[in-house]
Chains A and B, each alone.
Chain A
Amino acid sequence: MSDDMLGKKEENGMNATTAADTTNSIASGADQPHSSGLGAVAAASAAKRTRTEQPFGSGLEARNVHAWFGKYHAISDMSLDFPTGTVTALIGPSGCGKSTFLRTLNRMHEFIPGAAMAGEVLLHGKDIYAPGTDVTKIRLKIGMVFQKPNPFPSMTIGENVLAGIKLAQLKVSDKKELLEECLERAGLWNEVKDRLDQPGGSLSGGQQQRLCIARSLAVRPEVLLMDEPCSALDPGSTLKIEETIAELAKTMTVIIVTHNMQQAARVSDYTAFLLSDGGPGQLIEFAPTREIFTRPKDKRTENYVTGRFG
């Protein structure tokens, strides 16, 4: 286990310090995409992930989803399946609608003034946009972690974790046990167990983000949406959160937006590549992560994952 972690740390360090070099070497070796570094990462991490269960059931399905901001057509005709127990990464250049798509999946899109959408998002076969659906119940089942760590400033660490219980008015028999379990799953318990009554803002950025993950877990969601959860964090914290994601995927569906292709290759089972060619963002390719990084079917995907644009 410790060897394993060391190996991952190496990758992380490389990612932070020599990202440019990596990109160059990938670009120069692009004639044989099989040998690209990211493909190897994806293959290695897929091999490491010895899943006992196969993906089961249909967790979350997007059917012909479109989204608009006023007149601006942000994403067009996205259809994707997210089976339970898998991690799906959404990659693509800035402005291609990754985050917008993510926010349509738990009905956070509608908070933006002028927002509109079309299509269906099915959770266990039921459309979450169907009339009469209780939005708050949907968001309980489909949790979200944001790009910037946002613990509630008026609450302590412990209160932050249990905030969802209070906010959604859930009944919990043993709050202490839930608190420990959620912090444990988010990989934060050991660091904060002696300071649960300190404010959430007193933690470092990476700890705050794991606190936010613990907070999302406390309401027991079935799906967790993560919108670039590591973009504001240092490599060490990123590693911890990636370990957390791997742990979570054993019991739930995780969908993660990331700009970091190394991260997509490391953590995800499936990868969706989105692109906007001036118009609305579209799904270009959706495949097991290993294939996206080794044998992309679309030329544009290949160009993106080998660092030729974006």
Chain B
Amino acid sequence: MTVTPIKPWRATKRDILTQLIVIFLSLVAAYLIVANTGFEGRLPLVAFFGVFSICALALISGLQRGKEAAKDSFLAGAAYVGVFALLLPVVSILWTVVSRGTAAIYSGFFTTDMSQDPFSSPLTDGGIKHALIGTLWLITIALIISVPLGILTALYLTETKGPGSGLIRFLVQAMSGIPSIVAGLFIYSALISGTGRGFSGFMGALALSILMIPTVARTAEEVLKLVPPDLREAGLALGATQWKTVALVVLPAAKSGLVTAVILGVARIAGETAPLLFTTGGADATNLNPMDDNMGTIPFYIWKALIDGSPEAASRAWAGIFILMLAVLALFGTARYLSRSRTVR
């Protein structure tokens, strides 16, 4: 005799039908309200629909199974509405960027720069090569500076627990609140103005590092705190020095979290425009040397295209946003791929 597996805990067809009817009635009610009162547009419709359907579903559960079930249903519904409210702008932004960002992209977009063409020139001329190179240079240099410093700071706070840990933790938190333009001004006044040095990609990377280090350090600290203390003790009990324990046990155990810390750091800086204005200077021509001379970046390209005002320039700005988004996405994907964990935990 064979037994067919069933799932008795699943909602019955009648339950699902009731819920669908309730949701449909909520939609109708929301539509009637929007159509017959001062509310206008899609947003009030969605808001009314959300509130009505949650309340109606909670009411049904309450009538069927009592007060506690009603509360349960209400909170579950609220969670759905919350997720929807969060996804709505994200999807809307993505959709806008993709639909408008592709217009300016053509075969030569990645192989030419804007040194020969103004931003208002036809979309078949010029490209983003200079800005892409500049942004990649800046992110690379900022990574090289910030990742070791940020993770070492986190290790000082969680492993060494040396003197002044509390103060350092406070300062790192304060640093993460610095407005980005202040970081740019700091580099400008400390290292560029009056020193004879000019703008360069490296200066921009330094300004970005000021923003990135606290993000990496704070996230890495949280991640390292989650590594169970027994693992450290086990390492030390095997006759390892603290450095060996950290390098071979603690850091590998926190690997995927540390990659997240780095990703968050890159996300913090990838779109920064303000600090780059006084540090890289911005450029329309390709500059391969980050140590000398003005350098263009994607955020600068977007900014410059936006203030130009012509419809062609606006399309270029959208294309810049699209490329920046793809570049950051590619970085995240690579980081995630490299940090795949073997553990089954």
Contact = CB atoms under 8 A, between A and B. Distances in A.
Interface of A: 106, 108, 111, 113, 136-137, 139-140, 143-144, 146, 148, 150, 152-156, 163-164, 166-169, 199, 201-202, 212, 215-216, 219
A201 B248 contact: no
Contacts of B344: 199, 201-202
Nearest to A170: B239
B239 A137 contact: yes
A137 to B, nearest CB: 7
Contacts of A148: 230
Contacts, number: 87
A305 to B, nearest CB: 30
Interface string B230-251: 1101111111110011001100
A19 B109 CA distance: 78
Nearest to B342: A199
B interface majority secondary structure: helix
A144 B161 CA distance: 24
9 contacts: A139-B237, A139-B238, A143-B237, A146-B233, A150-B234, A153-B345, A163-B238, A201-B345, A202-B344
Interface in B326-345: 341-345
B237 A152 contact: no
A111 B233 CA distance: 9
Interface string B241-268: 1001100110011010000000000000
A148 B330 CA distance: 40
A167 B345 contact: no
Contacts of B230: 146, 148, 150
Contacts of B194: none
Given A137-B239, A154-B255, A154-B341, 8 more contacts: A136-B239, A136-B240, A139-B237, A139-B239, A140-B238, A144-B233, A152-B253, A201-B345
Given A153-B343, A154-B252, A202-B344, A164 B233 contact: no
A interface majority secondary structure: mixed
B162 interface: no
B253 A153 contact: yes
A201 B343 CA distance: 7
A252 to B, nearest CB: 15
Interface of B: 161, 228, 230-231, 233-241, 244-245, 248-249, 252-253, 255, 341-345
B249 to A, nearest CB: 6
Contacts of B249: 152, 154, 163, 167
A199 B239 CA distance: 22
Nearest to A200: B343
Contacts of A167: 235, 238-240, 244-245, 248-249
Contacts of B161: 113
B343 A219 contact: no
A96 to B, nearest CB: 21
A150 to B, nearest CB: 4
A140 B240 CA distance: 8
A106 B233 CA distance: 12
A82 to B, nearest CB: 17
Nearest to B241: A136
B344 to A, nearest CB: 5
A166 to B, nearest CB: 6
A100 to B, nearest CB: 14
A144 B237 contact: yes
B239 A140 contact: yes
Nearest to A147: B230
A65 B4 CA distance: 67
Contact of B233 (A108, A140, A154): A108
B238 A143 contact: yes
A169 B244 contact: yes
Nearest to A154: B252
Contacts of A199: 342-345
Contacts of B245: 167
A113 B236 CA distance: 16
Contacts of B342: 154, 156, 199
